[in-house]
Structure 1
Amino acid sequence: MDPRSSAHDLHRCELCETAIVQSYCDVCHVNLCKPCIGEHISDGYQKHAIVPFLERRSTLIYPKCRTHEHNKCKLLCKNCANSFICSSCTASEQHIGHTFVEVSHAYKTQKEIVMKDTEELENSISPMYEKIASDLENQLDNLDGGYEKITKTISKQGKQWHREIDIVINRMKTEISEIKVKHRDILQKHLDEIKLIQTLTKETFLTLRELEKSTEVSPVIEYSSKIIEYRQLPPKVQVKLPTLIPKPIDRNKLNTLVGEITPLSTATEEVSPLNQPNTSVRELLDEPELVATVQTAHTRLRNVTFLGKDTIWTSGESNDIKCFNINGSLLQNIKTNSGEWPIDLAVDSNGNLMYLDVSTNTVNKVNNGQTEELIRFQGWRPKQLCVTSNDDLLVTLYSDDRSQSKVVRYSGSTEKQTIQFDDKGKSLYSGNSNTKHIAENRNHDICVADWAVGAVVVVNQDGELRWRYNGHPSVAKNKVFKPWGITTDSQSRILTAEYYSHCIHILDQNGQFLRYIDNCDLEYPTGLCVDNNDNLFVCELYKGIVKEIKY
């Protein structure tokens, strides 16, 4: 290492290269010791600006005037597009009546803008572009893998079709073998009948030969002719071989039957209108009370959503989605098309049931008993959903490799908004497949109960993080905070089920803890919803019951 530039040395003079620096030329940007100053300014002191080393780069270097070559421009002419001028220029006819500004003042103002822009570029803009570039690089890096998965899926589908075709062909071959046996039986039966007649004719022929030679009267007189019977030949049996009538191969139809590849798609984000304040006030009761209990008979009851008129939809870990009134009467039972259990439920403004089917990667809509596919996801798997005040769908999703999670807003089946990162580029949600129940608050905040990280994560309608809630310290509630279901009421309060502590947390819209609901003998609460009167419905996982609580 050069001893003159050692990290442990002081700055050295750039002329003699040995002495410790004491001064600095603010024009030439050179480190100087005192003995070397004279040598440096030997070509004219006015050409240099010698300052103490600690005050280096403090001297402004003004441009030379183009008109008066020995003057420096320390003024700006506002009337001449902020052109640089010297003091002599102000007296010229060209600048009579013009407004002048000191260059040092404009420099200071612009310097502040430069520093502010530098800070913003360094701390905000550049990291965001780095994040965007990193995301794009990751997408490019994962592109081959993603398309390889699609190709493998296509090959798998092809193998399945080949197996089905082989099954059809083998069934047809079996059918042909069975027809062949029937054909053989028909011909054999007819042949046996013919051979029997042949035997009879031979016997008759022999009898006739004997009679021809015989001179006995009685046998000849008693003979009865059967020639007429033998003349009537039996019908000829014609059994045609079966034939295959091949159907023409329609490749377009075959493509439709095998599957369909969705085109590339992009989406834009729109800002929702501001929420109107709710004027009605509902205070919390001193003591929550259990109003009703509905026995659903679900296996591991997970979800409940309010339909209206004291009616709820429920689902568990079976393919049944059941509708009950608050008296516990079963009103309707719908089965999922796939036969798998729905991961979550919601109801739109028209009373249509929505459910998530993770086995088919779809959002499905039930209208008048008919189920239709509304959204099919590619590369992501749905976890939970809710319907917003303007009938949009909010869906929590996690990537196929379980490394990322996000919230996506849909209008019908059209993607409108994606919420995934905070303003520092960090993921808002845990990347795994654990439950992430979601609800929209009355102020359009989007609230997610993130089980894996033990937090309620709330963002505004633009997807900007507002706050996180990680549970409330309490001696009685000393277990790990694991929020499951989440819902909001007319007062913009947020209610979330704490699974292991068997209670409900109630928060205000700013994340401040208000109270627990822990007096209704709750056990392993999961899904939540509220009705139009802010009555709370709570699922209990293992009991399979829904409790209605007035709080």
Structure 2
Amino acid sequence: MATTSDEQAAGQHYLVCGIQDCQKNGQFYCNDCHQPMCEQCKEEHRKSPNNKNHNIVLYRQRKHRLPTEKCKLHPTKNVDIFCRECNTPLCLKCFLGKEHKGHEFDDLEDIYAEKYALWQGEFSKIQKYFLPTSEDLKIDIKEDVKEIKKIIETIRTSMKDEAESLKNLVDEVTSEKIEHTHTMEKSLLQMLKSQETTYNDYIKYLGKMSEKFQEYLSTTNQKLLSSKILKLKTIPETSKPVPPVFTPGQFNRDDVAKLLGRLNIPNTEPEKRKIHPMEAVSTPMKFTEKQMEQGKEKSDMKPTLSLSSSVTKVREYSVPDVNNAFHVSADKSGRLWVSDIKGNLVQTDLQGNLLQKIKTSGGGEGYHTATQDGGLIYTDKDEKKIYRITPDRIITEFIKTGDWTPLSVHSSRINGDLLVGMITDEEAKVTRYNKAGKEIQNIQRDNQGQGLYSLPHYITENINGDICTSDWNKRAVVVVNKSGQHRFSYTGQGSVFCPYGICTDVLGHILVCDTDSKTVHLLDQDGGFLSVILSSQQGIEHPHAVCVDDENNLYVGQLNNKVTVYKYLE
């Protein structure tokens, strides 16, 4: 990430006082001299009569220096005056010329500083309100998309069920009618069978009568004359059956559509999406040193924390049953969880006494995190699961991550959500789970569709909701806002940057271990490099893990089994 000229001049260690050969931390800034100053040099600077009206502020509240720009008419002169009448910037030579005689002028640096503050304020609004709010609305829309799809699918299912019900009813009625045709057919056929039997009997009768007539015809005349006269029965009468007639039902498509219900959108006014009003978002107020001193005199106000001019070692102790301290988590009770590269995860008190030990498949990652209730959550890479330990030491399976291997995990101090950095053979992402373990957000790509992560092996959250990830393969600290929008990537101060453990503090600082330079870097909330807060000068040899507890103590784990505690805020 690009740094200002003042920060570059300060070098990699910290922002150095700009007074002569002073090498102390330049936490103050003289807006008139445009120099960073330590507290001692600031006091000396104010003692000089020439500097009594100089405006001295905290470094982060400094007035930004006017960029150097040469005059177009006088290329050897710098532009630093603004003519109100002509609405144009001028150099000193233009100012002294006849063309602008009698005009009113302003200091161009004051105008620039004012404009810079306005631009910074607008930029801050974009970053802190407009972008996150818009991203939240996008998430709201995505949820609506899911809900609409769910509702429409339910309607489709209901339609199919209703149609199926109608089909079943049609089939049932049709079966009954067809069964009735069989009954009618049977009755008619029985009637015809009876008629056939009648004629069969009559034909038999005629056969017998034929035989008698032939017998009579073959007898003598005397016998024929004395025989009885035979009379034939008449042909039986029968009736032709009346066949049934089918009358088709009188219905059309609309009739069927009515039977199957109606689909429409209610005549209801759509509810407008709720856009939360913007709170006061602006650049930091420009307090003068006098105002700061007056503020300190107010006894009813709680002192505000700030960076100390030096880092103080508080204590150091060895952690039992670990070979190295690759990750450190401090819980509310002051106890400490420490893990090494071989999957040993132990809990100790502040004297280094072993309280409990767990064997996992974790390694050189930030795979455990203390929770708000005093418990712990840790990942298991081999099983692709996340486990939870309650304050009374009960271990339960919490989340299964499917095809994704969970590497790093962080329990939010803002809302208790769980942030998990995870990978597959091809991809990497950060997933957010709520307290119940339900997946609610996946962060994987930037606005251009490029992958944000490669190996997110340490993860944390800042006070503004930013998700800060230490990515070994990217050689960067990747920071996105709470909506997953990429804010910045910090790539160190040297040619090689190897980020490991990462944490944040109550002031929004980001602290990250650089295993290449064997130092701990301190960044501001927007990724600006502030200082190398820990190096070999403070006795640090191989820092791999950092953690800040509720008392603002900084814990540093190294490539041995030692954890060292420092104070850097006051």
Query: What interval of TM-score do these two structures reach, taking the shorter chain for normalisation?
Result: 0.3 to 0.5
Which has the bigger relative contact order, CA under 8 A and spacing at least 6? 2
**TM-score where L is the length of structure 1:** 0.46
**TM-score where L is the length of structure 2:** 0.45
